Amino acid sequence: MSGTVYFATSEMYPFSKSGGLGDVMGALPPALAKMGIPTAVLTPFYGRLRTGEAQIRLAMENLHVGYPWDPTTVDVFATEYKGVTVYFLHRGEYFDRRQYYNEYKGDYFDNAERFIFFTRACFAFIRAQDEPPGIVHAHDWQTALLPAYIHFARPKDAFWRRTRTVTTIHNIAFQGRFSSRLFRGSGLPWEAWSMDGSEFYGDFNFLKSGIAYSDGISTVSPSYAREILTERFGYGLDGILRTREQHLAGILNGADYGIWDPREDRFLPARYSRQDATGKADCKLSLIKSLGLSTHLLDRPLLGFIGRLRDQKGIDLVMDIIPELMERDIGLVVLGEGDLGYERTLVEMSEAYKGKMHAVVAYTEEFAHRIQAASDCFLMPSRYEPCGLTQMYALRYGSLPIATAVGGLRDTIVPHPHPKSTGFIFQEIDSRALLRTILEATALWESNPEIWQDMVHRAMSQAFTWEKSSKQYLELYRQLGYDA
């Protein structure tokens, strides 16, 4: 079987992004297209879509979707991006909002309806093409119903007979779990309402539907693929995953070095490379000045943190030890948004420790790049981390990661001491262990600049390319019978 590979996703950089999923969808489809695989992406037409220079055309009007409850239609717009055809599915009442999934008051009340609609619209759009697709590849709970629709359509409709489906789990903690009442409007048949299907402790679970009914399942690092089979990391889905273990692959994400490379980063005041890293000091000075930090921090280690301010990322562990860091004159810059409580405390602490630490509570791409370049160490004390992209970027920017021994962090960082070390890893997930490891790293920074520079050099030489990862995806498709 050959044919187009269709990705269904709720985010795609540069058009939309709230985290790593957006980055992955902006890079994996182009990497496949570069190998000559016909590739398309289906994604919502958000009100806040960043279309930039892209030429967008109307591809299909008033396509009948018919779900969830009323007869409904969708308009489809299209553009070309790095060899990939990107389709934006437009339905204003669902996607013309300020955010993607939630605002301060919490998740949008109709998230189930929004993504039932979106996946039904994807199904209808692909069905309306002349040729059946080779692969339909869903990502996270938002699109996980699509493989289930195809699974149940296959025996009745020859169009789908040769299509194979994949669901990729980027974060198993988010499952799209909704009231059983919503199952009726989903368009899935009653036989899907079972313990081995979409039902989960009496609720309707989107991600579980994808796991149950996809031909292949993958997640974003080899370590996380093992972890989600256990109770500690599986968030209740370890049971069904164990039954499908032979269909589960762990494929490490890549980093898009076209966007994340200090040699050509347009956000940086100075560029640098591993041969000549002098520009990194200019980036540090420039950030220190723009954030109103004391310039004496130029001669002190500067720690960076970038990420969603959620329990997953362990920002609370960082906040616990800020007083100790400040006492020791270690600088800290945080960029993130998320839980209101964390945001507030970080802002208060920035006031209390003015000059030594600063928290930027916002979503700003420019600062994400500038913090990577300016910092000496990058903090990633995640409680779990399916892959993590920020530590890969940090390595390339010569900011040595200090991270927990979980998921993709274990798969991308070689911990000190080791002849090939690129960062620091700690085992117990608590603030004492984090502090100990930071102090170990900063002591090395202070006492042994040669060893430090060697580590920086090795870190900057790491290459987690999409070329490598996309080949593994193609291999997975081939195992399912795809022969591009």
Residues that bind ligand ADP (CB under 6 A): 19-20, 23, 306-308, 335-337, 363-365, 368, 387-390
What is the nearest approach in angstroms of ligand ADP to the Cβ of residue 342?
Answer: 12
253 vs 399, beta carbon nearer ligand GLC = 253
Task: Give the integer Cα–Cα distance in Å for 196 and 243.
Answer: 9
Cα dist from 85 to 17, 26, 80, 90, 99, whole Å: 18, 12, 5, 16, 24
Question: Does the footprint of ligand GLC cover residue 17 (CB under 6 A)?
Answer: no
259 near ligand GLC (CB under 6 A): no
479 is in the binding site of which of ligand ADP, ligand GLC, none (Cβ under 5 to 8 A by kind)? none
Tell me how far CA of residue 394 lies from CA of 104, 385, 389, in angstroms: 29, 15, 9
CB of 147 or CB of 386, closer to ligand GLC: 386
Residue closer to ligand ADP (CB basis): 150 or 172 = 172
Binding partner of 368, given ligand ADP, ligand GLC, none, CB within 5-8 angstroms per partner class: ligand ADP
Q: Are 169 and 217 in contact (CB under 8 A)?
A: yes
Q: How far is CA 405 from CA 321, 383, 410, 424, 464, in A?
A: 19, 9, 5, 10, 19
- Taking alpha carbons only, the member of 338, 333, 472 closest to residue 394 is 333
Draw the binding track, 102-121, toward ligand GLC (x: CB under 6 A; -: no contact).
--------------------
Taking CB under 6 A as the criterion, the residue among 138, 248, 389, 441 binding ligand GLC is: 389
Answer yes or no whether residue 220 interacts with ligand GLC by CB under 6 A. Answer: yes
| Binding partner of residue 336 among ligand GLC, ligand ADP, none, CB cut-off 5 to 8 Å per kind | ligand ADP
Whole-angstrom distance, CA of residue 181 vs CA of residue 407: 35
Which residue is at the shortest CB distance from ligand GLC? 20
Going from the C-alpha of 401 to that of each of 370, 432, 446, the distances in angstroms are 16, 17, 17
Encoded tokens for 227 = 């972890």
Minimum CB separation of residue 361 from ligand ADP in Å reads: 8
Q: Quick one: which of 12, 33, 121, 387 contacts ligand GLC (CB under 6 A)?
A: 387
Closer residue to ligand ADP, CB minimum distance, 241 or 389 = 389
Residue 180: exposure state from Cβ atoms within 10 A (0-12, 13-18, ≥19): middle
Tokens 């100990």 — which residue? 436
Residue 49 one-letter amino acid:
L
Residues in the chain: 484
CB of 180 to ligand ADP, least distance (A): 29
Query: What is the CB neighbour count within 10 angstroms for residue 221?
Result: 23
- CA 116 vs. chain centroid, Å, equals 22
Q: Rounded to the nearest whole angstrom, what is the least distance from the CB of residue 169 to ligand ADP in the complex?
A: 12
From 202-210, 285-293, 379-387, 452-460, span contacting ligand GLC (CB under 6 A): 379-387
**Partner whose binding site includes residue 308, from ligand ADP, ligand GLC, none (CB under 5 to 8 Å by kind):** ligand ADP
Residue 393 to residue 413: CA distance in whole angstroms: 12
Sequence-ordered alpha helix ranges (H) in 235-339? 238-243, 278-290, 315-320, 322-327
Name which of 194 and 364 has its Cβ closer to ligand ADP.
364
Does position 385 bind ligand GLC by CB under 6 A?
yes
Residue 29 within binding range of ligand GLC, rule CB under 6 A: no
CA dihedral (444, 448, 449, 453) positive or negative: negative
| By CB under 6 A, residue 170 contacts ligand GLC | yes
Residue number with CB closer to ligand GLC (149 or 378):
378
Give the nearest distance from C-beta 178 to ligand GLC in angstroms. 20
234 binds ligand GLC (CB under 6 A): no
Which CB, 146 or 255, lies closer to ligand ADP? 255
The rounded distance, in Å, linking the Cα atoms of 70 and 65 is 9
Nearer to ligand GLC, 442 or 469 (CB): 469
Task: Report the alpha-carbon distance of residue 344 to residue 463 in Å, rounded.
Answer: 37
Q: Does 26 bind ligand GLC (CB under 6 A)?
A: no
Is the preceding omega at residue 301 within 30 degrees of 0, hence cis?
Answer: no
Question: Among 5, 8, 12, 24, which residue sits at the site for ligand GLC (rule: CB under 6 A)?
Answer: 24
Q: Please, which residue, 142 or 253, has the CB nearer to ligand GLC?
A: 253
How many beta carbons lie within 10 A of that of residue 331, not counting itself? 28
Of 9-17, 156-164, 286-294, 386-394, the segment contacting ligand GLC by CB under 6 A is 386-394
DSSP 8-class letter at 17:
-
Name the residue nearer to ligand GLC (CB basis): 69 or 363.
363
**Residue in the structure block whose two tokens are 């520009």:** 279
Contacted entry of ligand GLC, ligand ADP, none for residue 262, CB cut-off 5 to 8 Å set by kind: none
Q: Which is nearer to ligand ADP, 186 or 372 (CB)?
A: 372
Q: List contacts with ligand GLC (CB under 6 A).
A: 19-21, 24, 170-171, 220, 253, 385-389, 408
